[in-house]
Chain A
Amino acid sequence: MKKLLITFLLTVFCFAGIANAKPEPRPTFDGVTVTAALHSGPFVNAWGPHVKRIKELYGINLELVGIPVNELYDKSILELSMGTGAYDIVQYNPGWVGDYIDFMRPLDDYMDRWDPGWMDIHEGFREWENTYGGQRVSLTMDGDVMIFYYNKNMFEDPKEMADFKSTYGYDLAPPANYDQVLDIQKHFQRDTDGDGTIDQAGYSDPIIKRGRGQYPYLMRLFAYQKEAGITPNYFDPDTMEPLINTPEGVKALQNYVDTVANGVPGMLQWEWSEAHTCFMTGKCASLIHWPDEGLMTAAFTANTGSAMGFADVPSKANMTCGGWVAGVTADSANPEAAYMVLDYILGPDVSTHVALYPGGGTDLFRQSHFDSAVVKMIAPQEYLDAFDSAIGDIVGELRIPGGFEYYDSLDIQVQKALAGEISAQEALDQAAENWKKITKSLGADKQKEMYAKAMGY
Chain B
Amino acid sequence: MNWIRKNIFGLGLLAPSIIILFVVSIFPMIYTFYISFFNYYLPRPNRAYFIGFENYIEILKDGMFWLAMKNTAIFMISSIGLQFIFGLGLAILFYDEFRGRSAKAFYLPLILLPMMVAPVVVGYVFRLLYLTEWGPLNYLLGFVGLGPYSWTASASTSLLSLVIADVWQWTPFVTLVLLTGILSISSELFEAADLDGANLWQKVRYIILPLITRVIAVVVLIRMLDSLRELDKVYILTQGGPGTSTTLVTFWSYLNGFKYFKVGYAAAMSIILLIVTVILATGMAKVLHKEEK
Chain A interfacial positions (CB closer than 8 Å to B): 73-74, 77-78, 80-81, 99-100, 102-103, 197, 199, 209-211, 213, 265-269, 401-402, 404-405, 408, 412, 415-421, 430, 441-442
Contacts and interface: CB of A to CB of B under 8 A. Distances in A.
Contacts of B240: 210, 412
A421 B243 contact: yes
A430 B243 CA distance: 13
Contacts of B45: 81
A419 B242 contact: yes
By DSSP majority rule, is chain A's interface helix, strand, loop, or mixed?
helix
Contacts of B152: 269
Most buried by B among A74, A99, A103, A269: A269
Contacts of A100: 43
Nearest to B58: A437
Contact of B132 (A99, A213, A266, A415): A266
30 contacts: A74-B258, A74-B261, A77-B42, A81-B261, A100-B43, A102-B43, A103-B43, A213-B241, A265-B132, A265-B148, A266-B150, A268-B153, A268-B154, A269-B132, A269-B152, A401-B41, A401-B43, A404-B259, A405-B260, A408-B260, A412-B244, A412-B247, A419-B154, A419-B242, A419-B243, A420-B155, A441-B39, A441-B41, A441-B262, A442-B41
Interface residues of B, number: 32
Contact of B259 (A74, A102, A209, A421): A74
B226 interface: no
A401 B44 contact: yes
Interface in B123-175: 131-133, 148, 150, 152-155
A146 to B, nearest CB: 22
A9 to B, nearest CB: 52
B255 interface: yes
Contacts, number: 97
Contacts of B242: 210, 268-269, 415, 418-419
Contact of A419 (B42, B43, B245): B245
Contact of B255 (A266, A408, A417): A408
Given A81-B45, A401-B44, A402-B260, A421 B39 contact: no
Given A210-B239, A421-B244, A77 B260 contact: no
B43 A415 contact: no
Given A269-B241, A415-B243, 10 more contacts: A78-B42, A80-B43, A81-B43, A99-B43, A210-B238, A401-B43, A402-B260, A408-B259, A415-B244, A441-B262
B64 interface: yes
Interface in B35-70: 39, 41-45, 63-64
Nearest to B239: A210
A141 to B, nearest CB: 22
Contacts of A268: 150, 153-154, 241-242
B42 A209 contact: no
Contact of B150 (A81, A269, A420): A269
Contacts of B259: 73-74, 404-405, 408
Contacts of B42: 77-78, 81
Contacts of B255: 408
A209 B245 contact: no
Nearest first, the 5 closest Cβ-Cβ pairs linking A and B are A266-B132, A210-B241, A419-B243, A269-B153, A419-B155
Nearest to B155: A419
A421 B156 CA distance: 10
